[in-house]
A = this chain, B = another copy of it.
Amino acid sequence: MSDAAQQLSDDLGILLQRRLRTTLHAEVVAGVHDAIDVNSYPVISGVARTGPISAAALGAEIGVDRSLASRKAASLVSAGLLRSSPDPADRRATLLDLTEEGRRVVDTLRRNLTVVIDERLRHWSASDRHELAGLFGRFVHDLTNAKE
């Protein structure tokens, strides 16, 4: 077992703590939209990442039960940020997607998070930032798509 894995797991443990998540997400959602808070943020982000998606698939994507995904999505629909339309291929299913306003909100959220990261890395060299971005991207991909 490599030293690198030991070091990575220690740092990952810190990163995944509630404390960072809470402060970061609160910073990102502040003042963006009445319907967006730290709980609805993952929902609309999930839809933004996956495109038109069923409630069941969205639940799997963001790690909650489909009943919860359905209810969270419903409140974003009534807020005008998501649209729910019947799936032409399967009449049981409905597909969730962003409205134009939802798209604007997601863009703002994404920009807010990027600003925060940019601030935190202000004193980094461009090459270190670039290198981290590449390796971190692979890391996140391999963590979230565990095959083995």
Interface on A for B, CB 8 Å cutoff? 1-25, 42, 45-46, 49, 60-64, 110, 113-122, 124, 126, 128-133, 135-140, 142-144, 146, 148
Contact = CB atoms under 8 A, between A and B. Distances in A.
User: How many of these chains are in the complex?
Assistant: 2
Nearest to A148: B119
A61 B19 contact: yes
A121 B12 CA distance: 14
A110 B9 contact: yes
Residue in A2, A4, A121 with the greatest tally of chain B CB atoms within 10 Å: A4
A17 to B, nearest CB: 6
A10 B122 CA distance: 17
B135 A120 contact: no
